[in-house]
Amino acid sequence: MSATRIPPPQPAQRVGAAPKKVDPKIPDEGPDFRTQFHAWVESHRASIVDSLRRLGRQPIGSFFTCLVMAVALSLPMGLSLLLNNVERLGGSWQRAAQISLFMQLDVKDAAGQALSKQIEGMPNVASAEWISREQALAEFQQQSGLGQALKELPDNPLPGVVLVTPQEVDKPTLEALRQRLSELPKVEQAQVDLLWVERLSAILKLGERFVFGLTLLLVMALLLVIGNTIRLHIENRRTEIEVIKLVGGTDSYVRRPFLYMGALYGFGAGLLAWLVLAYGLNWLNGAVVNLAGLYGSNFALDGVPVGDGFSLVIGAVLLGYIGAWLAVARHLRELAPR
Amino acid sequence: MIRFEQVGKRYPNGHVGLHELSFRVRRGEFLFVTGHSGAGKSTLLRLLLAMERPTSGKLLLAGQDLAQITNAQIPYLRRQIGVVFQNHQLLFDRSVFDNVALPLQILGLSKTEIGSRVGSALERVALSDKAELFPGDLSTGQQQRVGIARAIVHRPALLLADEPTGNLDPRLAAEIMGVFEDINKLGTSVLIASHDLALIARMRHRMLTLQRGRLIGDGEAV
């Protein structure tokens, strides 16, 4: 600690708005914008690297935290995907709510097709399809297993049918349309299975509400998981945070590495959840295809759409970020002067 | 530079840390605050660092009222204060260089500037050759000097030290005090809380004596 090695005195900066003395050798002014921007970028880069390093230092712990989050994320997402598949299985709403117009027996093909075109032009009608008496009999023979018995009948007992697909499926509109169609000439009966539509609608609405409730609960659970994990990291770095605050670190400077850590946990969890869902649906699909095949259907489960997968990852990153923010904010509040 | 006007600090549990304390510190002054344990030395330093707020009176630091300062303004105030702790408060997972560089990184200085200033600060405390070591590799006295280097690297107007020689033997304590005097000669106001009266007496600087939160003496140590 030789006095001769001590560099020339540097005038101390003053507190508050007092003017500063400038050392000609070392600039004492605040850093310019470019330097500050580079320092800001460098600070973010250092925070990301530091967060990755800390997560990598505890690979098993980090993996399990991500896995817990992934399970919590994949439950509502998986249920939502299954609901979508159930909806698809039940056919589109329009198909489910088709109105069948049973014509009188004397209606010929040409008249039926003309009527079908006329109905297509009506309001609230998406499409109309004419099924002739012969087509109806052939389908019935095939599906009922009574082919031989039906062949022995002297006449075809089935009427021609116009299948009308409505644009809207709410009950009053459907009922009004059915009423209008039933008043058309040569229409013997207009039939729509509204009860089935209502039941399916109610089941799907219940399912959607259940998924929504479950999502809310699990989002809260996720915030707790990430908040608790970040809280442990904060405890391990308590001294560092105190020192940073005492040497002039702002709250955002203290918060930054923890936010990156939360976001990284979220990113890992989102990717894992996507993987779990993709694998889970693929695993389930084998059994579904087999079951559907027994009913003569080629139905198969849809996987995780890429858009939904990305939304899942982005959502998880956001949740991680918010969870970390809440945890750090709580700690910073404790450090605030009283 | 520092003005205490009837400053009081009462904690929510009823304990009174400071009783209507009034004194002034000029720019570039070197002074000690002494008193027995619980006299209010640490409370006084915590008020100056804006770690706590006074419950009565007016505390001005270079014209800024620390009772009124917002939480968002506190980091910018602290950037102009250097602080040395009895237990050093070094980060043991960072090198000596990184410990000293911390205030400059927070200020957003360039790497070149940081390198230059850290080198200068370490030279001032005679630790230039220890920059790459970790605090755990250093002796207690060296760790304290790292703490001092960190406190002065950003050229603060005010240097606060809380029992900086508390854990050091007399020779090291005198050495550390020598460093503080060198820093004071550069124009930095130095305020040291200490109960080492023998050491204080040798330094012949102004001394405030506290007892149970009250100022009972203000004059040159003898």
Complex prediction ipTM:
0.88
Q: Is A306 on the interface with B (CB under 8 A)?
A: no
Which pLDDT score, from 0 to 100, does residue B201 have?
A: 85
Q: Tell me how many helices (H) and strands (E) chain A has.
A: 11, 4
Contacts of A6 in chain B (CB under 8 A): 123-124, 182
User: How distant is the Cα of A17 from the closest Cα of chain B, in angstroms?
Assistant: 8
Q: What are phi and psi of B92, to 5 degrees?
A: -75, -10
Kindly tell me if the per-residue pLDDT of A17 is higher than 50.
no
This model's pTM is above 0.80: no
Provide the token pair at A189.
């009966």
Interval A210-239 mean pLDDT: 89
Contacts of A250 in chain B (CB under 8 A): 72, 75, 106
Query: pLDDT per residue over A160-219, tens digit each?
Result: 999 998 887 777 888 888 899 999 988 999 888 677 767 777 888 888 888 889 888 988
Provide the token pair at A230.
């970040």
Contact B155 A242 (CB under 8 A): no
Interval B199-204 mean pLDDT: 84
DSSP for residue A15: S
User: How distant is the Cα of B102 from the closest Cα of chain A, in angstroms?
Assistant: 8
- Give me the sign of the Cα torsion angle A94, A97, A98, A101: negative
B60 strand-pairing partners: B3, B65
Contacts of B116 in chain A (CB under 8 A): 26
Distance CA A309, CA A80 (A): 13
Kindly tell me if the per-residue pLDDT of B164 is higher than 80.
yes
Scanning every residue of chain B, which has its alpha carbon at the shortest distance from the alpha carbon of A33? B108
User: Which of B69, B109, B184 to probe by mutation at the A interface, max A CB count within 10 Å?
Assistant: B109
CB contacts < 8 A, A to B, total 133
Which pLDDT score, from 0 to 100, does residue A268 have?
A: 95
Distance CA A69, CA A63 (A): 10
Name the residue among B151, B100, B117, B122 with its Cα closest to residue A28: B117
Q: What are phi and psi of B11, to 5 degrees?
A: -85, 160
Among A81-85, A304-308, B3-7, B23-27, the least confident range: A81-85
Distance CA B5, CA A37 (A): 41
Scanning every residue of chain B, which has its alpha carbon at the shortest distance from the alpha carbon of A18? B62
Query: pLDDT per residue over B59-92, tens digit each?
Result: 999 888 988 888 888 998 999 899 998 888 899 9
Contact A239 B71 (CB under 8 A): no
What is the rounded average pLDDT for all residues in chain A? 81
Tell me which residue has tokens 């930054």. Answer: A256
Which pLDDT score, from 0 to 100, does residue B81 have?
A: 93
User: Which of A32, A243, A253, A335 to probe by mutation at the B interface, max B CB count within 10 Å?
Assistant: A243
Which pLDDT score, from 0 to 100, does residue A81 have?
A: 87
Residue B83 and residue B160 in contact, taking contact as beta carbons nearer than 8 Å: yes
Contact A17 B63 (CB under 8 A): yes
Provide the token pair at B35.
């008193």
- Helix then strand then coil, in percent of chain A rounded to 5, is 70, 5, 25
Q: Is A17 on the interface with B (CB under 8 A)?
A: yes
Interval B24-38 mean pLDDT: 90
Among A133-147, A227-241, B102-116, the least confident range: A133-147
Residue B117: pLDDT band by 50, 70, 90 thresholds? Answer: very high
Cα B88 from chain centre: 11
Tell me which residue has tokens 């006084």. Answer: B44
Query: From the list A10, A14, A30, which residue is nearest B62 (CB)?
Result: A14
Q: How far is CA A61 from CA A58, A67, A265, B176, in A?
A: 5, 10, 11, 44
Distance CA A286, CA B45 (A): 71
Provide the token pair at A116.
């079908």
First-to-last alpha carbon distance for chain B, in angstroms, is: 25
Q: What are phi and psi of A102, to 5 degrees?
A: -85, 120
What lies within 8 Å, CB to CB, of A122 at 6+ separation is A177, A180
Q: Is A336 on the interface with B (CB under 8 A)?
A: yes
Interval A92-120 mean pLDDT: 83
Kindly tell me if the per-residue pLDDT of A322 is higher than 90.
yes
Distance CA A317, CA A326 (A): 14
Interval B116-124 mean pLDDT: 92
Which is it for strands B81-84 and A99-103: parallel, antiparallel or unpaired? unpaired
- Give me the sheet containing B158-162, strands edge to edge: B81-84, B158-162, B189-193, B30-34, B206-211, B214-220
- Give me the sign of the Cα torsion angle B82, A54, B113, B182: positive
User: Which of A43, A239, A247 to probe by mutation at the B interface, max B CB count within 10 Å?
Assistant: A247
Contacts of A31 in chain B (CB under 8 A): 107-110, 113
Distance CA A191, CA A193 (A): 7
Kindly tell me if the per-residue pLDDT of B116 is higher than 90.
yes
Contact A10 B155 (CB under 8 A): yes
Kind and range of the H or E run holding B114:
helix B111-124
Q: Is A293 on the interface with B (CB under 8 A)?
A: no
Which is it for strands B214-220 and B206-211: parallel, antiparallel or unpaired? antiparallel
Kindly tell me if the per-residue pLDDT of B140 is higher than 60.
yes
Q: What are phi and psi of A107, to 5 degrees?
A: -75, 125
Among A26-40, A155-169, A298-312, B110-124, the least confident range: A26-40
Which pLDDT score, from 0 to 100, does residue A90 have?
A: 63
Name the residue among B122, B124, B141, B140 with its Cα closest to residue B132: B122
Kindly tell me if the per-residue pLDDT of A10 is higher than 70.
no
Interval B3-28 mean pLDDT: 90
Name the residue among A187, A216, A4 with its Cα closest to residue A103: A187
Kind and range of the H or E run holding B82:
strand B81-84
Which pLDDT score, from 0 to 100, does residue A95 have?
A: 58
Contact B123 A337 (CB under 8 A): no
Interval A137-145 mean pLDDT: 77
Interval B112-136 mean pLDDT: 92
CA atoms within 13 A on the CB side of B155: 22
- Over pLDDT 70: what percentage of chain B? 99
User: How distant is the Cα of B176 from the closest Cα of chain A, in angstroms?
Assistant: 10
Q: Is A39 on the interface with B (CB under 8 A)?
A: yes
Contact B109 A26 (CB under 8 A): no
Among A246-260, B69-83, B168-182, the least confident range: B168-182
Residue B108 and residue A249 in contact, taking contact as beta carbons nearer than 8 Å: no
Q: B80: helix, coil or strand? A: coil
User: How distant is the Cα of B152 from the closest Cα of chain A, in angstroms?
Assistant: 9
Which pLDDT score, from 0 to 100, does residue A30 have?
A: 56
User: Chain B neighbours among A 242-261 (CB < 8 Å)?
Assistant: 242-251, 253
Residue A293: pLDDT band by 50, 70, 90 thresholds? Answer: confident
Name the residue among B189, B207, B195, B135 with its Cα closest to residue B167: B195
Which pLDDT score, from 0 to 100, does residue B129 have?
A: 92
Distance CA B41, CA B215 (A): 10
